[in-house]
Amino acid sequence: QVQLVESGGGVVQAGGSLRLSCAASGRSFSSYAMAWFREPPGKDRRLVAAIHWADGRTHYTDSVKGRFTISGDNTKNTVYLQMNSLKPEDTAVYYCAADSTGAREYNYWGQGTLVTVSS
């Protein structure tokens, strides 16, 4: 089995920073991409940032561009999300995900880590 485990969440004051980490355990696998999603209270889970391993291409949702940075190591199936200049609207449960299908399907998920940004 494959397990993804997020860490680094917590409570931070607006304007502060957090660094989220995601590590895989269990059986080995190769991912084409890994990503971070977030689920604010009462809202749908949406993509925040993604990294495509083949060329290192990254994607960010507009609301976090310039503030968040995704990075990782595909050989270890690890991914990080550096979050700076945090805003209250960034409050959400953050999930890491991996695509091992090559079909843009995120088939492995972590259980989430809560980020709370106080105003």
Beta strand 113-118 with 10-13: parallel, antiparallel or unpaired? parallel
| Residue 43 to residues 63, 91, 93, Cα–Cα distance (Å) | 15, 11, 11
Strand partners, 92: 115
Sign for the CA dihedral angle at 42, 43, 44, 50 comes to negative
Per-residue confidence (pLDDT) for residue 28, from 0 to 100: 85
Per-residue confidence (pLDDT) for residue 71, from 0 to 100: 97
Per-residue confidence (pLDDT) for residue 109, from 0 to 100: 96
Render each residue's pLDDT in the chain as its tens digit; 119 residues.
898 999 999 999 999 999 999 999 888 889 999 999 999 999 999 999 999 999 999 999 999 999 999 999 998 889 999 999 999 999 999 999 999 999 989 999 999 999 999 99
